[in-house]
């Protein structure tokens, strides 16, 4: 193992872990201490055997197989619940067993199910449900989009030249608690396993690849001053986010930054039902007053549900539901936005520390969970103007979504 010291763990190199995965071996992957603070056994699904699966089951966590959307589509795997309220939005799909197994509980049977899941010739009819193997839907783009074990398993298999799917199982200690980092390190030493962190994997991938790519750059004079407008392409997505850059924020110790999700009704039509348009203007004005900063504009309308569904949610709000209840009534999560692309854009612009313009603590959390070398040193409020049309909306954001808004609004 390399001598990368972190919280009593001497981490292996990412490349050595990839090579172990290619040989069909099990590795340990840990995530951030301020995320799940968890260690998981991982191996490639394609290389599943009764031996390595039996060892993985000694972790005593949930036995899962992380796969990409094409596998879920081919096998008709559906979400386990309609409304995913898991803290980190882990995407559990309906558990399955291969039709050839007896009960599906043995190590050999689970290994067979895992291998058959990633066999391109397998179809929906080759599996019974419910079963003993829990499929997990990984995000396209892997840990660069979501810093989870699900995505790490897929990434490591892909990097090993195998089918991008992996077995995942949390590791518990003898008391049934999450194994500590000291315990994980001892486990790796005892069984001669490679052990890496998701942060390492993110850093490794960022050296070789990234999701965002600049495609256009021009000057843009506005009522708030002259900005550079930079357009980006994003792998695995059709939308194109933009960044409005004033001055040279990369030369500031911690410039003002806002990651703003698109709101057609608020930003363009000046709707009074929300605070989005006000926040957009206020953020641009605050950046302008400092002479440097960035506003990243992400196309994720209606907290990620899209414009048409947002208008449907408006209709439900007219009938008495609040903004959270309306989204849920339409079958969506409360907030489906993803800030990983925005963070990558800020990194592409050369920023390392920022003061984040937001009332939403989850945006600051995204910088922590993302695993990127980008630090939020201050969360700067962008307090909206309250009117008769958005007062209840703002109260719901404060009381149900945790936004830091005054209680006397």
Instruction: Provide the annotated active-site residues.
Output: 335, 337
- Give the chain's radius of gyration (CA, Å): 23
Instruction: Kindly state the DSSP code that residue 224 receives in the 8-state scheme.
Output: T
As a whole number of angstroms, the distance between CA 207 and CA 95 comes to: 36
Which letter, b or e, does each residue of 210-221 get, where b requires 16 or more Cβ atoms within 10 Å of its Cβ?
bbbeeeeeeeee
Residues in the chain: 409
Q: State whether the Cα torsion 240-232-150-66 is positive or negative.
A: positive
Q: Which helix (H) or strand (E) holds 187?
A: helix 181-191
As a whole number of angstroms, the distance between CA 257 and CA 290 comes to: 11
As a whole number of angstroms, the distance between CA 372 and CA 204 comes to: 11
**Which tokens sit at 348?**
């592409």
DSSP string, 316-352: HHHTT--HHHHHHHTT--S-----HHHHHHHHHTT-S
Q: Is 174 exposed, middle or buried (0-12, 13-18, 19+ CB in 10 A)?
A: exposed
């Amino acid at each position: 193992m390399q001598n990368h010291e972190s919280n009593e763990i001497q981490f292996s190199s990412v490349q050595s872990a990839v090579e172990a995965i290619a040989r069909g071996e099990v590795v340990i992957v840990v995530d951030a201490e301020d995320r799940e603070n968890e260690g998981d056994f991982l191996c490639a699904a394609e290389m599943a055997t009764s031996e390595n699966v039996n060892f993985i089951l000694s972790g005593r966590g949930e036995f899962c197989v992380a796969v990409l959307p094409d596998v879920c589509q081919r096998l008709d795997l559906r979400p386990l619940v309609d409304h995913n309220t898991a803290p980190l939005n882990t995407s559990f799909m309906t558990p399955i067993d291969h039709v050839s197994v007896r009960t599906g509980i043995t190590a050999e049977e689970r290994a067979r199910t895992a291998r058959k899941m990633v066999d391109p010739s397998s179809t929906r009819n080759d599996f019974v449900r419910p079963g003993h193997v829990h499929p997990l839907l990984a995000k396209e783009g892997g840990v660069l989009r979501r810093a989870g074990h699900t995505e790490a398993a897929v990434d490591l298999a892909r990097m090993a030249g195998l089918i991008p799917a992996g077995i995942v199982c949390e590791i518990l200690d003898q008391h049934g608690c999450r194994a500590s980092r000291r315990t994980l390190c001892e486990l790796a030493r005892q069984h001669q396993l490679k052990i890496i962190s998701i942060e390492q994997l993110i850093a490794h991938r960022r050296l070789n690849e990234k999701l965002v790519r600049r495609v256009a750059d021009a000057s843009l004079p506005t009522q708030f001053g002259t900005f550079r407008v930079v357009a980006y392409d994003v792998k695995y997505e059709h939308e194109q986010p933009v960044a409005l850059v004033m001055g040279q924020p990369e030369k500031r110790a911690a410039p003002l930054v806002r990651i703003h999700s698109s709101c057609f009704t608020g930003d363009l039509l000046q709707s009074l039902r929300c605070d989005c348009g006000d926040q957009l203007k206020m953020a641009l004005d605050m950046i302008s007053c400092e002479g440097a900063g960035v506003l990243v504009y992400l196309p994720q309308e209606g907290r990620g549900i899209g414009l048409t569904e947002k208008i449907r949610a408006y209709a439900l709000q007219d009938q008495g539901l609040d903004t959270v209840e309306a989204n849920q009534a339409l079958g969506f999560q409360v907030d489906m936005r993803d800030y990983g692309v925005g963070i990558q854009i800020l990194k592409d612009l050369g920023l390392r520390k920022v003061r984040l313009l937001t009332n939403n603590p989850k945006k600051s959390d995204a910088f922590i969970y993302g695993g990127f070398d980008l630090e939020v040193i201050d969360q700067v409020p962008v307090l909206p103007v309250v009117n008769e049309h958005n007062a209840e909306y703002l109260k719901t954001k404060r009381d149900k979504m945790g936004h830091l808004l005054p209680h006397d609004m």
